[in-house]
Structure 1
Amino acid sequence: MTGVGIDAIEIRTGKLKLDLAETFAPAQGEDPGKYTKGLGLHASSFPDVYEDIVTMAANAAHRLMERKGLTPDDIGRIDVATESAFDNSKPVSTYVAGCLEEVYDDDFHHANKGERKFACIAGTQSLDDAFNWIRAGRNRGRAALVIATDTALYARDDPGEATQGAGAVAMLVDEDPDLVTFSTEQGFGSADETDFLKPNQQFPSVDGKRSVNVYLARMREALDDFAAQAGDLHPDDYAMVPFHTPFPGMVRKAAALGYRHIVRDTDVELALAEEIGRQPRPEEFKTREQYFDAMEEYTDELTETERYGDWYADSIEPTLSIAREVGNWYTGSVHVARAAGLKRSLEEGREMAGEQLLVASYGSGAQAEVHSETVQPGWREEIEALNVDEQIDDRYELSFEEYEQIHDVHNHDTETDVEEFTAPDGEFVFDGWGRMGERKYRYVR
């Protein structure tokens, strides 16, 4: 059987921008460096009054289908991953299909539709579902449309407020894809955790410090589990490592621990030992606390080495370029990271066909998944087709007062009447409420 993976990708960002250094930090009485250097974020994207998770998803999917010359008959399933859903029964995928049917002569009545929920990892789980569906031969020659769409909104003055963001990533999963193929090996790290959750509430309850530790612990487990199937891992095996990126500062931590873990007992550790010594081993210490202290000291020294700095610059930094400008997109985050890394490679003239990506996804609650992907010969054309730079540049820049207004617009518990900040053109928009409380949409030509 030919490889299965992502044939095409489209990104849709919210049309509004909040500058963290120039607008948010002064209003909060904070040093801008707290956001730009600490979190690694420069701006957040927000939906305009007429945008939401459905419009962003449908607009991304529509552009993908138009660019690839697809009709509804070419799509056998539509899976939407989100943790921003507004209905506990009707899936977002049905709304997206309804939108798309407004602009096509055919319908999606034949397509299987669903909605995935496991915090931010649901986008990757939806890709897994599509992969398994095709590999099982149940697709009847059709492709799967997988969309990760979220508005990552926090309560006002919450510590996570600066990491907010909104956008959608649409991905076409098919045989013999143009972008990447997926490995059959997967590694998982999963545990019952309450680091970040929304028990019948829109805004998350977050234990920030614990959430970081759970993220790192599950990632380590997933990496171990992946290595048990794929064999010994080496940093030189992977051209890039897209991580789930709630904010780039989190990835800095994860990358250092992942690199330390993957180079143990390799030629890289031996080469580094001449500079910073060998990695500590548990048996060398009387207590776990002493071992952990030694590992923390070693990791700090590791990140200061030239070898680690070069690896980080090549394998991690390129994947963060979009996230810095748009914030956290929850289920779309790791898929934005993949696109960002390939986009940087295109801009730098780096040939990626045949190269391996090590993709590290995570969802609070908590689960991490690690798998590898092989970049395909058609990757350049797919990445060249992205217009995410234009979208980012064209966003309307909010004042802090306008930010407060748009936050209220998208707060489910607040009713506010705010004029739109931008004019819709050639896109799906929210169009009010139906008789049963459902959301309605229309296409603005």
Structure 2
Amino acid sequence: MTAVGIDAMEIWTGKLKLDLAETFAAEKGEDPEKYTKGLGLFASSFPDAHEDIVTMGANAAHRLMERKGLTPADIGRIDVATESAFDNSKPVSTYIAGCLEQVYEEDFHHANKGERKFACIAGTQSLDDAYNWIRAGRNRGRSALVVATDTALYARGDPGEATQGAGAVAMLVTEDPDLVELSTEQGYGSADETDFLKPNQQFPSVDGKRSMQVYLARMREALEDFESVAGDTHPDDFAFIPYHTPFPGMVRKAGLLGYRHMIRCTEVEDELADEIGRQPREEEFDDREAYEEAIRGYMDDLKSTDQYREWYAEVVEPTLSISREVGNWYTGSVHIARAAALQYAAEEDRDVTGDRLLVGSYGSGAQAEIHAETIQEGWREEVDALNVDEQIRNRYDISFEEYEQVHDRHNHDKSIELAAFTEPDGEFVFAGRGAMDERTYDYVE
């Protein structure tokens, strides 16, 4: 069976930077380590005055098409995943296609276009749609373009404000991919939840504690479901495990939960038994509450062991390097975690061809998906082509007053004029509004 997966990806980060330790914490009168150690974040990315989810997505897609030598005729579908859309009818994919048609002689009139919404998991769902479209033989030899683009804003003063971020990830899904092959096996954990939602509003309503509980519960269910079709997992099976990363502190909890699950009834649990005992089994307890308390105690002990610390440092920690600098990108977060892991492998000069990733995606409301990816021979060339580190270094560092202006600029309920902090160069920009209040875009040389 021909491999199907991600052939290439490109990343576009918002051009503005808010330093959480030096700027945000200082303004709030708080200890910087609340953000740098507690949340695990150093900075957030924001879109400049001329940027939004369309420009970021279109710029990432344009860079991807140019690098791969593609034209619109090569693309059979454009799927955009976002939870930051500004129109309840017209999909963001049509805007992005319109932008790209400004720089190509051909058009996308024969490409299927859509928009996916399921909070942060929609990017992975769009990959699934593209995979299934190719597997079904409906692509006519063409590729799929998947764009995950979001501006993750919270109301000012909200506890989630420090986790904000903005950026886009464009991914090319093809047969015989150069980057990663997607597994046929998937696992899901899904339930009707109200942990995080936006009922006809831009800024989310969040039950922070509940959201973390739901995230972990759905991830556990998805892993169990994945194992039901793919077989038991083991900590040594995967080179890296990229998780959806609303902030790195949450991934620390997910990593510990996943490790505990994977070592159950293995030689690893046996090796740790003399040090911390064996994992509690529910049948050993008279009630669920006592069992859960015992599990919490075991996990507290587990996270202090050398085995777990070494595994986490090698398999999970490398996935967080980009997120620490840009914040939460909603639909793009798990995909920048993948990129960070492969960048780390390249920097360490590791040959990970043929190794596997276990990708944990999540969207509030709520659903998690677990699938595996096999790293392909062309991964190193694809990763070396990314310039996300350069983009991060070159961001304009905004003051807190400028941050407030930028936040207002991108508040859908406000109409704020703001001069750009950066000069656009070879990119799409927001140009204004048309007669029907539609957003318009130009390409700036």
- Compute the TM-score of the two structures, normalised by the length of structure 2: 1.00
Q: Counterparts in 2 of 1:6-17, with a 5 A limit? A: 6-17=6-17
User: Partners of 2:164 and 2:387 in 1: how far apart?
Assistant: 22
> Size of the alignment, in residue pairs?
445
Q: Equivalent residue for 1:256?
A: 256
SS in structure 2 at match of 1:357: strand
Structure 1 spans left out of the alignment, 5+ residues: none
CA deviation digits over 1:232-270, x for unaligned, max 9? 111111111000000000000010011001110111111
Counterpart amino acid of residue 90 in structure 1: K
Q: Equivalent residue for 2:345?
A: 345
CA deviation digits over 1:59-111, x for unaligned, max 9? 00000000000000000000000000000000000000000000000000010
Q: Does 1:226 align with 2:226?
A: yes
Structure 1 position 288, deviation (Å): 1.4
Instruction: Write out the 4+ residue segments of structure 1 that deviate beyond 6 Å after TM superposition.
Output: none
User: Partners of 1:239 and 1:271 in 2: how far apart?
Assistant: 22
SS in structure 2 at match of 1:94: helix
User: Partners of 2:254 and 2:29 in 1: how far apart?
Assistant: 29
Q: Equivalent residue for 1:74?
A: 74
User: Partners of 1:417 and 1:76 in 2: how far apart?
Assistant: 38
Counterpart amino acid of residue 282 in structure 1: E
SS in structure 2 at match of 1:250: helix
Structure 1 position 2, deviation (Å): 1.2
SS in structure 1 at match of 2:11: strand
Structure 1 position 274, deviation (Å): 2.0
Q: Equivalent residue for 1:212?
A: 212
- Compute the TM-score of the two structures, normalised by the length of structure 1: 1.00
SS in structure 1 at match of 2:350: coil
Q: Does 1:115 align with 2:115?
A: yes
Q: Does 1:154 align with 2:154?
A: yes
SS in structure 2 at match of 1:312: helix
Q: Does 1:18 align with 2:18?
A: yes
SS in structure 2 at match of 1:132: helix
User: Partners of 2:254 and 2:235 in 1: how far apart?
Assistant: 14
Q: Counterparts in 2 of 1:59-70, with a 5 A limit? A: 59-70=59-70
Counterpart amino acid of residue 204 in structure 1: P
Structure 1 position 162, deviation (Å): 0.1
Structure 1 position 418, deviation (Å): 1.4
SS in structure 2 at match of 1:324: helix
Counterpart amino acid of residue 132 in structure 2: N
Q: Equivalent residue for 2:56?
A: 56
Q: Does 1:305 align with 2:300?
A: no
User: Partners of 1:128 and 1:27 in 2: how far apart?
Assistant: 43
Q: Equivalent residue for 1:367?
A: 367
Structure 1 position 51, deviation (Å): 0.1
Q: Equivalent residue for 2:400?
A: 400
SS in structure 2 at match of 1:203: coil
Q: Counterparts in 2 of 1:415-430, with a 5 A limit? A: 415-430=415-430
Q: Counterparts in 2 of 1:373-392, with a 5 A limit? A: 373-392=373-392
Structure 1 position 154, deviation (Å): 0.3
CA deviation digits over 1:334-353, x for unaligned, max 9? 00000000001100111110
Q: Equivalent residue for 1:127?
A: 127
Q: Equivalent residue for 1:137?
A: 137
Which stretch shows the higher mean deviation, 409-418 or 19-28? 409-418
SS in structure 2 at match of 1:60: helix
Q: Equivalent residue for 2:30?
A: 30
User: Partners of 1:148 and 1:233 in 2: how far apart?
Assistant: 28
Q: Does 1:295 align with 2:292?
A: no
SS in structure 1 at match of 2:437: coil
Q: Equivalent residue for 2:40?
A: 40
SS in structure 1 at match of 2:186: strand
Q: Counterparts in 2 of 1:408-419, with a 5 A limit? A: 408-419=408-419
